[in-house]
Amino acid sequence: MNKKSTNNGLFSTLIGKKMLMGLTGLFLITFLIVHCGINALIFFNDGGELFNMGAEFMGTNLLIRTMEIVLFLGIIAHIVDALVLTLSNNKSRTVKYAHQKPNANSKWYSRWMGLLGTLILMFLIIHLKHFWVVSRFTDHIAHSELDKLPGQETLFAEMKEIFENPLVVLLYVASMVSLGYHLMHGFQSAFQTMGWNHPKYTPAIKKAGFWFSIIIPFIFALMPIALHLGIIK
């Protein structure tokens, strides 16, 4: 009885909420690696053939489709938990750093994680509308050029069309800058929250987090730029 009560109440505590944030954050980091790898297939510059094959696999494989549900649950949990933590932190601050200098104690992006997260959420909604909704809930997308029916496009062709608009490209690049700074704090923070600290490994985690926060958003940002400029055809 006590054990059950303790387990049920874990994520209702401040530490529990932070642990949930860390767990969902690490899960989403794993997703970013997979998503970036699939999208990076466009850099083979083969007319989108490999990318379309990867997109078809992701869209038809039962395990992947099941993991999509888990992914959305993870995103929702991450967003809700972030909102709850932000409101809780703001409520508990009866004195707004009257004798502290937050600039000296933390990086600016760690203090603006809420704003960065909000910008990423807005981008995510637009991104899902551009690609996920079209590929999952309409007949507009064909798996390949060979399967294409009149009025259909491959996902690669749809991507090229969307990134013809320079404002869309600018939006994607700006969103990836936000993602980079969000990851800059979130990557290391997730490990720290889970208690995975060790004098021997923490410096390596910090370094890995730094480069991950640069490389992944850079690759994502490079895609719309390359398509818009016609480098990838």
Coil, strand or helix: which one is 231?
Answer: coil
- What residue type is assigned to position 191 of the chain? F
What are φ and ψ of residue 142, in 5° steps?
-100, 155
Question: How many angstroms separate the Cα of 60 from the Cα of each of 7, 37, 39, 52, 68?
Answer: 37, 18, 16, 12, 12
Q: Nearest CA to 28 among 207, 205, 186, 201?
A: 186
Q: Residue 5: what pLDDT?
A: 46
Non-local CB neighbours of 140 within 8 Å, separated by 6+ positions: 134, 151, 152, 153, 158
What are 175's two structure tokens? 């969103």
Q: Give the C-alpha separation, 180 to 135, whole Å.
A: 27
Question: What is the CATH number for 208?
Answer: 1.20.1300.10
For residue 3, tell me if it sits in a domain.
no
What are the pLDDT digits (tens) for 121-135? 999 999 999 999 988
What does the pLDDT look like over 26-80, one tens digit per residue? 889 999 999 999 999 999 999 999 999 998 898 888 988 898 899 999 999 888 8
Residue numbers of the domain that contains 190? 15-88+111-228
Q: Is residue 70 assigned to a domain? A: yes
Residue 94 located in a structural domain: no
Which range among 135-144, 179-188, 199-208 shows the weakest confidence by mean pLDDT?
135-144
Neighbours of 115 (CB within 10 A): 13
The burial class, CB within 10 Å (0-12 / 13-18 / 19+), for 229 is exposed
φ, ψ dihedrals at 98, nearest 5° = -60, -35
Q: Does 99 score more than 50 pLDDT?
A: no
102 within some domain? no
Provide mean pLDDT across the span 100-107.
58
Q: What is the pTM of this model?
A: 0.82
Give residue for tokens 């016609």: 230
Asked whether residue 127 is assigned to any structural domain, the reply reads yes
5 in a structural domain: no
Burial of residue 21 (number of CB atoms within 10 Å: 0-12, 13-18, 19+): buried
1 lies in some domain: no
Q: Report helix angle 62-92 to 49-60, nearest 10.
A: 80
The answer to whether residue 10 sits within a structural domain is no
Q: What is the pLDDT of residue 93?
A: 57
Looking at the 3D structure of the chain, how many domains does it have?
Answer: 1
Q: For the packed helices 14-39 and 62-92, what is the interaxial angle rounded to 10 degrees?
A: 140
